[in-house]
Amino acid sequence: MLTQTRRTPLFDFDGTLVDSDAALLAPFAALGVDPATIPLGLPAAQACDLAGISLEDYLAHYDESASQPFPGVEELLARLDHWGLCSNKARPSGVAELARLRWAPTVALFSDDFDGEPKRLEPLLAALDLQPADAVYVGDTDHDRSAAAAAGVPFALAGWNARVTPRPDDLVLVHPPDLLALLG
């Protein structure tokens, strides 16, 4: 159980803050790739390599306005003065979506910041001058669980996403404001 009185929230983007499954898969379909063959949560460049398309072609077909915040997320973020974002999304689309949504994380890292490799929380912790125990990472995929575990950061599952499948040891947040109780 999380017991520290003040933690900094760190978030995954797609599937956690925004309902983006359809938006993420649409470029694959537009480029003739069966979206069912592409697992969600991969770094953007890896997903494109798996599909046999270029990241540039994918981004040219990606609609930054197609994803929408999950109910309660905007209200949660409005109550936070300090938060981080770590996503496998490509930086150009991530920055465009953050600007459209008028969200301003203290630090935002994207797939490009990890040379196309899976995201890691350690650089985000360093940029925010945090120890692992000073944060909680909220995500929706096994990739998110793995990133949190590798960095020693407590993980909370974005249970407001109907697609997620909790594991027995997951701390499941049913609604975005549930996170506030963990932060102190």
Q: Which of 2, 87, 83 has its CA nearest to residue 42? A: 87
Q: Which residues are catalytic?
A: 12
Say how far apart CA 148 and CA 2 lie, in whole Å. 14
Dihedral of CA 24/165/86/76: which sign?
positive
Using CB atoms within 10 Å of the CB of residue 169, give its burial: 0 to 12 exposed, 13 to 18 middle, 19+ buried.
exposed
- Rounded to a whole number of angstroms, the CA Rg of the chain reads 16
The C-alpha atoms of residue 29 and residue 47 are separated, in whole angstroms, by: 13
Number of other residues whose CB lies within 10 A of the CB of residue 90: 23
CB of 64 closer than 8 Å to CB of 97: yes
Question: The tokens of 148 are what?
Answer: 């949190």
